[in-house]
Amino acid sequence: FGPPAAPPIHVLLVVPNDRKKPAPAFVGLNFCGNHTLVTDPSVALPACWMPRNCPGCTNNQATDAGRGKQEDVWALEQSIDRGYAVASFYMGDIEPDRPDAPEGIRAVYRNHDWGAIAAWAWGVSRAVDYLTKDKDIDAKRIAVVGHSRNGKAALVAAAFDERIALAIPLQAGCGGTSPSRGKIGESVQRINTSFPHWFNGQFKKFNEQPDRLPFDQHCLIALCAPRPVLLANALEDTWANPDGQFEMLQAADPVYRFLGAGGLEKSRTPEPGQLVDSTLGYYIRPGKHSMTRDDWKIFLDFADKHFGKAGIK
């Protein structure tokens, strides 16, 4: 995608074999390479830079030792069993998660003032370009999912790409689904200091006074209207400010109702383990900052509610 110098995107696409019609699909970025999602040796190792904390990573390069080490994170077989396809690709294909990376897409478009979050979201849209042309995929039922920083990118992708019919940002926190002007969890100053490459320079101007921001993250959620959005969280992940995320749903609710799309059907945060599956949805479970098989059951239940059951098994 893009000019010849642009990095290639390697999408891992898993589709139900016994489908009777095109399958709805989840699409999203993974943290450590497609090979970590499956044990299949035919899945190529990423050739680009990789964080040292990725399983099987040696000298910032992927190795065979990482194969299948994050199977539980994406739980591909659960989606397949429920009739959904899954498309995922390594975030580093688009933009390595480090400041001033010379090999990412931002280095190709140097005149554009964008951060890595926007670049990753752009990559999701490029994957959607392909999915909408694949005869095995239902182009009208594509959902984006992402965890943490990839959840931020998932929400940005959905906000600006109306081909994405449903968004599930999980524990996306500051700069994603929690209030930038909030007082709990990660602050604007902290995120811009720890990850200076994630956002463009304008966001940094509000490090000292986030209350001066002319908008907050409910506006990003509202840009997805009338399409469904589920915010998923964990009780121990206070850094992502789960209660503040619920407040962002409440603030986005009037836009959804104005468009006749329903909205948030709860006036207070639900009990842990209870899925609010209205058009603006919410879920919180016990546990920490992670994406798990149990989370995928919730994602699939939410997608079934709004897409209609895929009806494969």
Q: Sorting pLDDT into bands at 50, 70 and 90, what band is 123?
A: very high
- 247-292 residue pLDDT tens: 999 999 999 999 999 999 999 999 999 999 999 999 999 999 999 9
Domain count, the chain: 1
Residue 312 confidence (pLDDT) = 45
Is residue 164 one of the residues assigned to a domain? yes
Structure tokens given for 197 = 């490459």
Is residue 105 one of the residues assigned to a domain? yes
Mean pLDDT, all residues of the chain:
96
Name, in order, each residue with C-beta under 8 angstroms of 243's C-beta and a sequence gap of 6 or more: 184, 269
CA neighbor of 23 nearest in space, from 126, 163, 134: 134
Q: What is the mean pLDDT of residues 280-309?
A: 97
Beta strands in the chain (DSSP E): 12-14, 23-30, 85-90, 137-147, 166-170, 229-234, 280-285
Residue 2 confidence (pLDDT) = 66
Is residue 5 one of the residues assigned to a domain? no
Is residue 64 one of the residues assigned to a domain? yes
* Percent with pLDDT over 90 in the chain: 91
Report the distance separating Cα 152 and Cα 222, nearest Å.
Answer: 14
The dihedral through the CA atoms of 228, 218, 121, 151 has a sign that is negative
Which residues constitute the domain of residue 136? 12-307
Residue 1 confidence (pLDDT) = 62
Q: Which residues are catalytic?
A: 148, 289
- 219-251 residue pLDDT tens: 999 999 999 999 999 999 999 999 999 999 999
Is residue 132 one of the residues assigned to a domain? yes
Is residue 166 one of the residues assigned to a domain? yes
Is residue 312 one of the residues assigned to a domain? no
Residue 103 confidence (pLDDT) = 86
Q: Sorting pLDDT into bands at 50, 70 and 90, what band is 304?
A: very high
Is residue 130 one of the residues assigned to a domain? yes
Residue 313 confidence (pLDDT) = 41
- Flag whether pLDDT at 7 surpasses 60: yes
Contact 95, 19 (CB under 8 A): no
Q: What is the mean pLDDT of residues 7-28?
A: 95
86: domain CATH number? 3.40.50.1820
